[in-house]
Structure 1
Amino acid sequence: MARINPIEYAGQATLSFKQLDELNGVEKGTAFRAFKRRREQLVEQIDFFYLNAAEHAAFIESLKASGQIYRSTNHLVLFSRNGYQRLLGLG
């Protein structure tokens, strides 16, 4: 498995849906579906960060170019370590 390089955002290491899928060796969309199931239990700005496409276009494009997010990504969701653990049901 390739090394996952976290995305630095808001002063912390975060992971994208693509990175979570790769880290866990699951098919595309698995982390997104888990997020949808647990969304109400997660706190924005603590567990995850939502980056609007219009406001963060250049950053999102740079992450697409580096292969850290899916090419089809419009709005970006990044998970903190705490959010990743909560997404897995560990936190």
Structure 2
Amino acid sequence: MQFITYQGHNTLSLRQLDQLNGVPKGTTFRLFKRCDALQEGQDFLYLAADAAPEQIRAWREAGLIYPATVNVVLLTETGYRKLQTMAGR
């Protein structure tokens, strides 16, 4: 799986994590929304559509994020581990 490197972090998008875990679209997002333990800047990065429009477009075109994605959430390795713990994996 190709990492998305952003602001010095190797991250994966919600789409990539859905694919990696073989789960339906939106599964990782729903888990992310329930995980209050995640800290922005450490466990995940949030990019509003107007913060990096060219980068978001490039990720969309490369198939790294879902086509309808507007604002992007990128999970770091620590964030992914926390999600896995929450999911009981």
User: Matched residues in 1 for 2:73 and 2:9: separation?
Assistant: 14
SS in 2 for 1:5: coil
| Structure 1: tracts of 5 or more residues without a match | none
SS in 2 for 1:13: strand
User: Matched residues in 2 for 1:9 and 1:73: separation?
Assistant: 17
Q: Does 1:9 align with 2:44?
A: no
TM-score (norm: length of structure 1): 0.91
Aligned residue runs from structure 1 range 1-91, under 5 A? 4-38=1-35, 40-89=36-85
User: Matched residues in 2 for 1:46 and 1:69: separation?
Assistant: 20
User: Matched residues in 1 for 2:72 and 2:3: separation?
Assistant: 14
The residue type paired with residue 31 of structure 2 is: A
Question: CA-atom RMSD, angstroms?
Answer: 0.9
TM-score (norm: length of structure 2): 0.93
| Structure 2: tracts of 5 or more residues without a match | none
Aligned length: 86
